[in-house]
Amino acid sequence: MSGPTKPLYTVSGKSFTAVAISTAAKAGEWIQTRLGQFSKLEMKSSSRDLVTEVDKGAETMIRNLIRTHFPQHAFLGEEGVGGDEEDLLTPERAEQAEYVWIVDPVDGTTNFVHGLPFFSVSIALAHRGEVIVGVVYDPVRDELFVAEKGKGAYVRGKRARVSEEATLADSLLATGFPADTDRNLPINLLGIRHLATRSRNIRTIGSAALHLAYVSAGRLSGFWELGLNAWDVAAGALLVQEAGGRVTDTAGRPYRLTTRHIAASNGAIHDELVSELRAANATGYEPPSGGQ
Ligand code: IPD
Ligand code: CA
Ligand code: CA
């Protein structure tokens, strides 16, 4: 006689999604208590690319909480802390892993540093390169966005659905200002310049994970940005797809963990968004100007 069916995405009775949610909630709660109270501000690649002890502390906390439940799983965190050197993964290697947790402990560090209350914890779980769980938590608004592959996306416990705008002209878009001022920022500015007059308007809230969560909740029609990493977008990409939207790279190819230049939308405007980025030479896949 067969026993009760095990819920999907469960190992030894522990749901991946439940662990992702409780971990994001604990980390988010702690991060919020440190708003305006961090003591160590460091520059990474430049003064546009910041990290504090709160980013590192939150990543270590998340890593330890996940390891308690799933010690065999791999871990890819933005700050690369809280584990052994040899455990450190790249997005390329993460695609090969059986299970890998992909984590941005504070997405929106610049906002956090300046006391601007828009940042999030982003936690995704991928299985052999495919994102199967995505959680984005905004501790300031106590707003939780959750998606499971094939099971839909939820915001504050209610089913999330992308918006219905059918044209760019009716769309509210979002993007960011990449830290890399040599290549990704100037190219993204070409896209902003081009799309500003072809969309209803453009917002930059300062957290790619929140931008994607807002596309999934129908608050934004679309989002694109160059130079992002798996930890910024893996969870949000699943949210958008499970809410009925579309996620590709800026050239229109399917989203992968290695995608750096991302376009996400309600689906209806996707082809137009990608073709306007191409028309503006703003996909980031064009040869660098002056090159062959
Ligand atoms: C940044 C945010 C921002 C985006 C940057 C990211 P961080 O992540 O997502 O919105 O424009 O490109 O690097 O550094 O705050 O984790
Ligand atoms: Ca980030
Ligand atoms: Ca971060």
Tens digit of pLDDT for each residue in 111-143?
A: 999 999 999 999 999 999 999 999 999 999 999
Å from CA of 130 to ligand 3 middle: 22
pLDDT at 36 over 50: yes
Half-sphere exposure of 224 (CA within 13 A, CB side): 33
What mean pLDDT comes out for the span 179-208?
Answer: 97
pLDDT at 11 over 90: no
- Residue 30's contacts (CB-CB under 8 Å, 6 or more residues apart) are 57, 58, 61
How far is the C-alpha of 227 from the C-alpha of 179, rounded, in Å? 8
> How confident is the model at residue 85, as a pLDDT?
55
Could you please report the per-residue DSSP string of the chain? ---PPPPTTEETTEEHHHHHHHHHHHHHHHHHHTTT----EEESSSTTSEEEHHHHHHHHHHHHHHHHH-TTSEEEESS--SS-GGG---HHHHTT-SEEEEEEEEE-HHHHHHT-S--EEEEEEEETTEEEEEEEEETTTTEEEEEETTTEEEETTEE-------SGGG-EEE----S-TTTHHHHHHHHHHHHHTTSSEEE--S-HHHHHHHHHTTSSSEEEESS--HHHHHHHHHHHHHTT-EEEETTSPBP-TT--SEEEE-STTHHHHHHHHHHTT-SS-SPPTT--
Task: Kindly indicate the confidence band of residue 87, based on its pLDDT and cuts at 50, 70 and 90.
Answer: low
Å from CA of 50 to ligand 1 middle: 9
**Is 205:118 a contact under the CB 8 Å cutoff?**
yes
> 90 or 233, which is more confident?
233
Beta-ladder partners of 21: none
Ligand 1 pocket check for 138: Cβ under 6 Å: no
Ligand 1 pocket check for 236: Cβ under 6 Å: no
> How confident is the model at residue 287, as a pLDDT?
81
Ligand 1 atom with minimal separation from the 231 CA:
16
> How confident is the model at residue 243, as a pLDDT?
98
Ligand 1 pocket check for 79: Cβ under 6 Å: no
> How confident is the model at residue 292, as a pLDDT?
37
Closest CA to 141 of 50, 210, 78, 235: 210
Å from CA of 77 to ligand 3 middle: 9
Ligand 1 pocket check for 55: Cβ under 6 Å: no
> How confident is the model at residue 167, as a pLDDT?
98
For residue 114, which ligand has an atom nearest its CA?
1
By most ligand atoms within 8 Å of CB, the mutation choice from 51, 119, 121, 228 for ligand 1 is 228
Å from CA of 136 to ligand 2 middle: 12
Ligand 1 pocket check for 178: Cβ under 6 Å: yes
Question: Would you give the distance in Å from CA 70 to the centre of its chain?
Answer: 22
- Average per-residue pLDDT in the chain? 91
Task: Kindly indicate the confidence band of residue 81, based on its pLDDT and cuts at 50, 70 and 90.
Answer: confident
**Pairing relationship of beta strands 120-127 and 99-107 according to DSSP bridges:** antiparallel
Domains of the chain: 2-159 (3.30.540.10), 168-279 (3.40.190.80)
Rounded to two decimals, the pTM is 0.93
pLDDT at 27 over 90: yes
